[in-house]
Amino acid sequence: MASVAASPTKGRRKDLNADLNLVPFIDILSMCICFLLMTAVWVEIGNLEIKQSHGTDGQASAINQAELSLVFQSENSIKLQLKQSGKIRQTVLVQGQNEQDFKDQLNGAIANSTKGLREAIAAAFVTTHPNVSYGRLVSAVDALRRNKVANVGILPSPQGGS
């Protein structure tokens, strides 16, 4: 326990006697430091570099450029459409049994669909679904990035969740 005591003085000054208990303050401070050190382990900083698909930063569109559309049907199912010159060129339904199988199937489907078109793909759009987790959405964007598709747009699910 810390205490401050002034020696008795003559005159108008009063004695200063104050007892400060510093132990609880030190306990709280040490607990805060321990808490911050323990929780710092779970902080991850990540980023995902993608370009804007349309607008000021988007690439100028050419005649033969294609668009890739990924529409989530459910948590383990996604419909992939390749459009070129406004017409649907290819449609693939990708389904997986679990998360890893889904990622592998999606990566393979994107690689097969974009074979020979990597430079000609102007944009890719991922449409979400209300039952799809954020992790699956990031997996789809990651699969596009792995296949060198840089211009990615994320669209909300249609009204009614269909």
Q: Does the pTM exceed 0.85?
A: no
Provide mean pLDDT across the span 12-31: 85
pLDDT digits (tens, 9 = 90+) for 77-94: 889 888 887 788 888 888
Helices (H), 6-87: 23-39
DSSP-assigned beta bridge partners for residue 51:
151
CA distance 126 to 36: 37
Overall average pLDDT of the 97-108 stretch: 84
> pLDDT tens across 137-162, in order?
888 888 888 888 878 888 887 755 44
Look up tokens 């792995």; give the residue: 146
Q: Which of 108, 98, 91 is nearest to 147 (CA)?
A: 108
Instruction: Read off the pLDDT band of 54 (50, 70, 90).
Output: low
